[in-house]
Amino acid sequence: MIREHEALVVGAGGAGLWAALELAKAGVDSAVLTKLYPTRSHTGAAQGGVCAALGNQEEDHWEWHMFDTIKGGDYLVDQDAAEVLAREAIETVIELEHMGLPFNRTPDGKIDQRRFGGHTRNYGEGPVMRACFAADRTGHMILQTLYQQCVKLGVKFYDEYHVVDLLTEGGELGSGGRAAGVVAYRIADGQLAVIRSKAVLLATGGFGRMFRVTSNAWSLTGDGVSLAYRHGLPVQDMEFYQFHPTGIVGLGILLSEAARGEGAYLLNKDGQRFMERYAPKLMELAPRDMVSRAIVQELRAGRGIDGKDYVYLDVRHLGRQKIDEKLPDITDFVRVYQGIEPYTDPIPIQPTAHYAMGGIPTNIHAQATCDAANTVVPGLYAAGETACVSVHGANRLGTNSLVDLLVFGRRAGRQMVLDVKGQDMPDVTDAAAEPVRAEIEALRARPKGERKEAIRKELADVMMDDVGVYRTAEGLESARTKVAELRDRYQHVSIDDKGTTFNTDLLEAREVGYLLDCAETMVAACINRKESRGAHSREDYPERDDVNFLTHSLATKGADGAVALDYKPVTITKFQPKPRVY
């Protein structure tokens, strides 16, 4: 039996929940589908803060925030979008406070603010206090607050429904078709729900699980990006993937930039604050791509601690009181996961795969677009880490992802409210679920074959080693070969659990498939971008090349299944590209 809602939101992180609130407020019949309980979404793991030029601590202006975002993104940012981000950051943060978010407070009772990497006063003069925060669990508070409001407004949730396919009408998404709903697998009992809809928002988060060392949850497997790609949509700027400088060694668990925002140092084996050689003005608060590269350089020069592959993050001089008040969670992680006492010992850290700047291309109304002319795909929307607006360009600044969720999650919801009026319900039936039903049955029925975990592990190794902080033509070519091999093997993947009840074995196998799509497009886009910009650092092309590459990449699935690349211009309004020094 087919169900229907006027609008569907896939994903219950910050982006999805805010969109759902807008739909509910407008009285649109809508629902949220999520493979995790909403409060388990990885937005809850965000730590440091959300930037908005409130000026509560010192002078600040949204124009400065806009500039920092563009420079931080190495000028690949669409400037109209950055302007929306910086302006609406202010109203959305205030709105969150009104919804009840318990921000830390200044002595006069306003929202407290602190420093964060790459955020500056007066177009780069020095660090500014712009990050609004709630201790070091800002994301937890955002997720809880938005979910609380959803409870208040009675938003309809399909909890633990894993979306396994998108429905289309009138052709594929990149060739004139419109989004028409989803097929979702109910995790509890394996039933497929076919839900048609006039508007579908993809807000499924990132895909950090394609790397060995990552700050991302197990569930971040690029589902939305992959499903859109399979249905003919291009994916944009996939070569830009951020490595956060300070992950717990081996595990990748994040230690927020908030630590450095509060004054923590980075030290090499000689006890030297090595950032003075890479970013003399901003030091530890330089943007993440630069700090991650600086760490790798130190390690290559033999200045890792004890010759090993890590350096120190040092918070000792901040004192117990500041550590307990401002950084309680991350110091707890250090105690639990490293067995180290941060009051008295420096913390071993290394870069960790963290954030996808690329994703589903959208315009500033969160409508998905399908070509270099930004043609809108009717009925399809994307917001949050899944989307590429592009406000982060080649490198995202800290705190700007949370801003992105708020600003473009809200915009997505509002746009869907407008668009569903006067639209017909797509004319799709249950039969639309047959292709994915067949895939799932084939997976269940396959006797012994490739183990999904082996494929995922090998993928994570090759992506980490060859598509990481630094890249070369040689490494990328070998990654391309490896990913192709893994794709072949994936055709024969088999699972142990053949049942219908809570079959995580089956869903994880599907997730590996999504990761392979994301990895394949990432590697192809990396190979083609013969320059270094933001997070994409080619050792064989160390300079930025604005003549040939001041342009967004679009990767589409070609008729033969191979990745086809196209490019589209960057929108430049106020700030002309300049060399990026800090």
Ligand X SMILES: Cc1cc2nc3c(=O)[nH]c(=O)nc-3n(C[C@H](O)[C@H](O)[C@H](O)COP(=O)(O)OP(=O)(O)OC[C@H]3O[C@@H](n4cnc5c(N)ncnc54)[C@H](O)[C@@H]3O)c2cc1C
Active site residues: 288
Would you put residue 353 in left (φ > 0), alpha (ψ -120 to 50) or beta? beta
| Number of residues this chain uses to bind another protein (CB under 8 A) | 56
Shortest Å distance, C-beta 191 to ligand X? 15
- Tell me: does residue 336 bind another protein (CB under 8 A): yes
Q: Which of 179, 200, 202, 184 is nearest to 426 (CA)?
A: 179
Q: Which of 130, 123, 120, 144 is nearest to 40 (CA)?
A: 144
- Tell me: does residue 405 bind ligand X (CB under 6 A): yes
Q: Which of 224, 171, 196 is nearest to 11 (CA)?
A: 224
Pick the stretch among 33-41, 176-184, 428-436, 526-534 that binds another protein (CB under 8 A).
33-41
Q: What does 75 interact with, of another protein, ligand X, none (CB < 5 to 8 A by kind)? A: none
Figure out which of the listed residues 36, 200, 347, 388 binds another protein, where binding follows CB under 8 A: 36
| Number of residues this chain uses to bind ligand X (CB under 6 A) | 45
- Binders of ligand X in range 292-331 (CB under 6 A): none
Shortest Å distance, C-beta 60 to another protein? 14
CB of 26 or CB of 217, closer to another protein: 217
- Tell me: does residue 57 bind another protein (CB under 8 A): no
Output 320-324 pairs: Cβ under 8 A, ≥24 positions apart: 322/262
- Tell me: does residue 39 bind another protein (CB under 8 A): yes
Q: What is the DSSP letter of 471?
A: B
Shortest Å distance, C-beta 303 to ligand X? 27
Other CB atoms closer than 10 Å to residue 132's CB: what's the count?
Answer: 29
Q: Which two tokens stand for residue 285?
A: 């608060």
Figure out which of the listed residues 138, 197, 390, 395 binds ligand X, where binding follows CB under 6 A: 138
- Tell me: does residue 45 bind ligand X (CB under 6 A): yes
Q: Return the beta strands (E) in 36-105 as ranges.
A: 50-51
Q: Which residue(s) pair with 235 in the sheet? A: 555
CB of 16 or CB of 72, closer to another protein: 16
Q: Which of 152, 59, 51 is nearest to 103 (CA)?
A: 51
- Tell me: does residue 11 bind ligand X (CB under 6 A): yes
CB of 335 or CB of 421, closer to another protein: 335
Pick the stretch among 27-35, 89-97, 101-109, 466-474 that binds ligand X (CB under 6 A).
27-35
SS3 508: helix
Spell out the residues 6+ positions from residue 430 whose beta carbon is closer than 8 angstroms to its own: 1, 2, 194
- Tell me: does residue 497 bind another protein (CB under 8 A): yes
**Spatial contact of 56 and 186, defined as CB atoms under 8 Å apart:** no
Alpha-carbon distance values, 224 to 49, 297, 323, 523 (Å): 25, 35, 38, 19
Cα distance between residue 534 and residue 154, in whole Å = 42
**Spatial contact of 171 and 396, defined as CB atoms under 8 Å apart:** no
CB of 185 or CB of 541, closer to ligand X: 185
Sequential DSSP letters for 333-376: HHHHHH---TTTS-EEEEEEEEEES-BEEB-TTSEEE-STT--E
CB of 386 or CB of 503, closer to another protein: 503
Q: What does 49 interact with, of another protein, ligand X, none (CB < 5 to 8 A by kind)? A: ligand X
Distance between the two ends of the chain, CA-based, in angstroms?
Answer: 59
Q: What does 134 interact with, of another protein, ligand X, none (CB < 5 to 8 A by kind)? A: another protein
- Binders of ligand X in range 321-380 (CB under 6 A): 355
Figure out which of the listed residues 337, 441, 477, 574 binds another protein, where binding follows CB under 8 A: 337
Q: Which of 11, 105, 88, 2 is nearest to 53 (CA)?
A: 88
Q: Which two tokens stand for residue 64?
A: 């400065």
Spell out the residues 6+ positions from residue 491 whose beta carbon is closer than 8 angstroms to its own: none
**Spatial contact of 347 and 331, defined as CB atoms under 8 Å apart:** no
Shortest Å distance, C-beta 275 to another protein? 26
Shortest Å distance, C-beta 188 to ligand X? 14
- Tell me: does residue 155 bind another protein (CB under 8 A): no
CB of 333 or CB of 470, closer to ligand X: 333
Q: What is the DSSP letter of 533?
A: B
**x-marked contacts with another protein along 449-468 as a string, rule CB under 8 A:** --x-x---------------
Binding residues for another protein (CB under 8 A): 36-37, 39-42, 44-45, 94, 97-100, 102-105, 107-111, 134, 137, 140-141, 144-145, 148-149, 151-152, 188, 217-219, 251, 253, 329, 333, 336-339, 451, 453, 495-497, 499-505
Binding residues for ligand X (CB under 6 A): 10-16, 33-36, 41-43, 45-50, 138-139, 162-163, 203-206, 215-216, 219-220, 223, 254, 256, 355, 384-386, 398-402, 405
